[in-house]
């Protein structure tokens, strides 16, 4: 076997370096903080953590107990540490009832109304008396971030570009905030192993291409960079984006094109289609002859699966990979 590190391992090493760069510990004593027992944050040393993000820095003075998580990936990460957010963001048509998703298990929290790109419901959030807000993409806007910060310390999206944050970085950040870095490491390792296992079971994915698209009347939204967290998962499986997709002009890592210009991008071996997938079938000339269509590697993505794909997390990835198993098995099997 080769001794070269896997894509997951290389990404994890990059994540560790990012955490070392973006975290500073403001220690009031030279002793190490105590580890929480069974999620009891009261036993944890209140050493401050300063998180660097796209709107500046946020200092978390003590282990938070009332967290509002506005993105599904942040909510998943809190839950993965055995804790319950008091509020979770919910987008009509995407989130399930109460903002909960199947991979999260049963837990009680308040749903906070979100829109795709608008401001969250500030009054709902304030009523929950949070001591930490883990914001969604809307907090990249200064006005939204300032309004949330007036309620409680707020962590904005971590990078200045992109729509969602890398799941490994989210796990590492909360591991620091909760004083549970060992648990964070285990969560990352377990998920890395699950991804690597799928890649081993599906050698047919190596070198194949994929497309992640959202179909709407007249336009198609594309993930146009393999650095986008949604795309990175498939890169770790050994796949890559077609050069026609990467060459598209885009802001951040996602862009929109007219349906009539989409045909050159549709030759990918795996098509992951969110939204109105039937529109593509009716609008793309020669749809039935596309490689992914011929091989049975077209995956309609809707409901909770859309959140798992668009905003992957330490909990959602396993759910997503299980759901896509039939399509992953078929990649590259089209008759020539």
Residues in a beta bridge with 255: 222
Q: What is the pLDDT of residue 239?
A: 97
- Please tell me whether residues 181 and 206 are part of one structural domain: no
- Please tell me whether residues 17 and 92 are part of one structural domain: yes
Integer Cα distance of 244 and 77 in angstroms: 34
Integer Cα distance of 94 and 74 in angstroms: 16
pLDDT by 10s per residue, the chain, length 336: 434 444 444 444 444 333 333 333 333 222 333 333 333 332 333 468 999 999 999 999 999 999 999 999 999 999 999 999 999 887 765 555 555 788 988 877 777 777 666 688 899 999 999 999 999 888 989 999 999 999 999 999 998 877 789 999 999 999 999 999 999 999 999 999 999 999 999 999 999 999 999 988 888 888 888 888 899 999 999 999 987 777 666 556 788 888 888 888 899 999 999 987 888 888 888 899 999 999 999 999 988 898 899 999 999 999 999 999 999 999 998 754
In a domain, 39, yes or no: yes
Question: Given 149, 164, 190, which residue is the final one in a domain?
Answer: 190
* Closest by Cα among 122, 317, 143 to 230: 317
In a domain, 122, yes or no: yes
In a domain, 32, yes or no: yes
- Please tell me whether residues 174 and 297 are part of one structural domain: no
- Please tell me whether residues 217 and 154 are part of one structural domain: no
Are 70 and 120 in contact, with CB atoms under 8 Å apart?
Answer: yes
Q: What is the pLDDT of residue 247?
A: 64
Q: How far is CA 270 from CA 71, 129, 294, 333, in A?
A: 27, 44, 11, 11
**Helix, strand, or coil here: 255?**
strand
Question: Given 190, 225, 257, which residue is the final one in a domain?
Answer: 190
Domain with 227 in it: 202-330
Question: Given 158, 190, 222, which residue is the final one in a domain?
Answer: 190
Supply 175's token pair. 């591991």
In a domain, 1, yes or no: no
Domain with residue 149: its CATH number is 3.40.50.1980
In a domain, 176, yes or no: yes
Tell me the whole-structure pTM to 2 decimals.
0.82
- Please tell me whether residues 156 and 233 are part of one structural domain: no
* Closest by Cα among 211, 272, 293, 277 to 245: 211
- Please tell me whether residues 30 and 144 are part of one structural domain: yes
- Please tell me whether residues 214 and 272 are part of one structural domain: yes
- Please tell me whether residues 304 and 162 are part of one structural domain: no
In a domain, 114, yes or no: yes
In a domain, 151, yes or no: yes
In a domain, 263, yes or no: yes
- Please tell me whether residues 142 and 226 are part of one structural domain: no
Are 274 and 213 in contact, with CB atoms under 8 Å apart?
Answer: yes
- Please tell me whether residues 169 and 144 are part of one structural domain: yes
- Please tell me whether residues 251 and 311 are part of one structural domain: yes
**247 Cβ partners below 8 Å, 6+ apart?**
none
- Please tell me whether residues 129 and 230 are part of one structural domain: no
Integer Cα distance of 161 and 258 in angstroms: 23
Q: Count up the domains in the chain and report the number.
A: 2
Supply 128's token pair. 């929950």
């Amino acid at each position: 076997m080769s001794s070269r590190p896997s894509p997951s391992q290389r990404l994890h090493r990059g994540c560790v370096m990012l955490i070392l760069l973006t975290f500073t510990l403001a220690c009031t004593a030279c002793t190490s903080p105590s580890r929480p027992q069974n999620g009891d944050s009261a036993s944890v040393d209140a050493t401050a953590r300063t998180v660097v993000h796209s709107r500046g820095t946020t200092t978390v003075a003590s282990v938070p107990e009332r967290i509002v998580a506005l993105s599904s990936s942040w909510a998943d990460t809190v839950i993965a540490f055995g804790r319950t957010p008091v509020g979770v963001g919910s987008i009509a048509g995407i989130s399930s009832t109460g903002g909960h998703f199947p991979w999260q298990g049963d837990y009680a929290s308040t749903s906070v109304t979100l829109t795709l790109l608008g401001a969250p419901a500030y009054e709902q959030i304030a009523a929950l008396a949070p001591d930490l807000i883990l914001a969604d993409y809307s907090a990249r806007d200064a006005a939204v971030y300032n309004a949330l910060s007036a309620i409680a310390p707020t962590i904005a999206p971590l990078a200045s570009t992109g729509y969602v944050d890398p799941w490994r970085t989210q796990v590492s950040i909360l591991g620091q905030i909760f004083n549970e870095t060992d648990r964070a490491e285990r969560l990352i390792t377990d998920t890395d192993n699950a991804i690597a296992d799928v890649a081993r079971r599906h050698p047919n994915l190596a070198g194949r291409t994929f497309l992640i698209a959202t179909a709407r009347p007249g336009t198609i939204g594309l993930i146009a960079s393999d650095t986008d967290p949604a795309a990175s998962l498939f890169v770790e499986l050994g796949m890559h984006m077609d050069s026609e997709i990467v060459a598209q002009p885009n802001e951040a890592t996602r862009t929109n094109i007219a349906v009539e210009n989409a045909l050159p991008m549709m030759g990918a071996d795996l098509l992951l289609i969110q939204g109105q997938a039937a529109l593509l079938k009716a609008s793309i000339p020669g749809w039935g002859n596309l490689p992914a269509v011929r091989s049975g590697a077209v995956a309609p993505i809707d409901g909770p699966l859309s959140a798992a794909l668009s905003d992957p997390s330490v909990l959602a990835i396993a759910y997503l990979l299980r759901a896509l198993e039939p399509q992953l098995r078929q990649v590259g099997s089209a008759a020539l």
